[in-house]
Amino acid sequence: MSEAPHTVKSYEEELKNLNANIIKMGSACEDSLSKAIQAITSRDNNIAEAVIQEDEKIDKYETLIEQQVVNLIALRQPMAIDLRETVTALKMSSDLERIGDLAKNISKRTLLLNENLPKNLVDSLNRVSTNVQKQLKSTLDAYLERSAPMAVNVWEGDEQIDDLTNLCMQEVIKYLKENEKNLEDGTHLLFVTKNIERIGDHTTNVAEQVYYLVKGEYLEGDRPKGTEPIVTGEK
């Protein structure tokens, strides 16, 4: 944090600690997401199991951060930048927790998938997820550096994720139509794709919080939107 230290050292410590926990929670989410993608694309059930297990750790961070926030508000009555640190930590932790859940859900579905997925689908999933992973990393960097422009970059990048998601969905739908036997795998893949997109949405929420934290005002305007999402397979 670039601010001068508090006169009360224990208060300073508590805020630093909160900050550190958000970073740790964020890294845990990054880790889960990248493992979840690795597990599904390289068909590695061990890694998928690990992601499912590690979600518990992420949940615990959320509880811890919530307790710290409540304590700060009750006992320190934070103001100005400290208030924004405290409140955004609470909101960020709940978005990060959702990211952890979604990564876990991807891994659960991974365990149910057949061994051999068509290469084009794997590539397509990889494309969306690489993008989302980059976004998540940039968001956490923006938080670490208290950088509003970096947060805005992430925010604007959400559009591209929507587009890549739609492309991926189209391919999965094509795969579904090819053969009745693809029904089960195809359905899981639709959900997986959707989950990745939602991880992108939560990442964008976090980026909005970072912006508010730094600037003390909300990012104006509607979130940039890509092509309309595909609701049915007709077209």
Partner 1 sequence: MIKIKAKDVDVFYGKKQALFNISLDIEENQVTALIGPSGCGKSTFLRCLNRMNDVIDICSVKGEILINDFNINDKSCDVVRLREKIGMVFQKPNPFPKTLYENVSYGPTIHGMAQSKQEMDEIVETSLKKAALWEEVKDRLHEPGTGLSGGQQQRLCIARAISVRPEVILMDEPCSALDPIATAQIEELIDELKKEHTIIIVTHSMAQAARVSQNTGFFHLGQLIEHGSTDKIFKNPDNKKTQDYITGRFG
Token pair recorded at residue 201: 């949405």
CB 188 within 8 A of CB 181: no
| Interface stretch with partner 1, choices 137-145, 160-168, 180-188, 213-221 (CB under 8 A) | 213-221
Question: What's the CA gap between 110 and 12, in Å, rounded?
Answer: 43
Question: What's the CA gap between 63 and 81, in Å, rounded?
Answer: 23
Among residues 13, 60, 183, 216, which is the contact residue for partner 1, using CB under 8 A? 216
Which CB sits closer to partner 1, 79 or 231? 79
Tell me: does residue 6 bind partner 1 (CB under 8 A).
yes
Tell me: does residue 146 bind partner 1 (CB under 8 A).
no
Tell me: does residue 73 bind partner 1 (CB under 8 A).
no
Question: What's the CA gap between 189 and 120, in Å, rounded?
Answer: 13
CB 132 within 8 A of CB 74: no
Which CB sits closer to partner 1, 1 or 23? 1
Which CB sits closer to partner 1, 26 or 78? 78
Scan for tokens 């969306």, then name that residue: 128
Site for partner 1 in 84-103 (CB under 8 A): 84
Three-class secondary structure of residue 77 per DSSP: coil
Tell me: does residue 218 bind partner 1 (CB under 8 A).
no
Mention every residue, 6+ apart, whose C-beta is less than 8 A from residue 194: 165, 169
Among residues 82, 95, 171, 208, which is the contact residue for partner 1, using CB under 8 A? 82
Please, what is the minimum distance in Å from the beta carbon of residue 1 to partner 1? 11
Residues contributing to the site for partner 1 (CB under 8 A): 3-8, 11, 77-84, 215-217
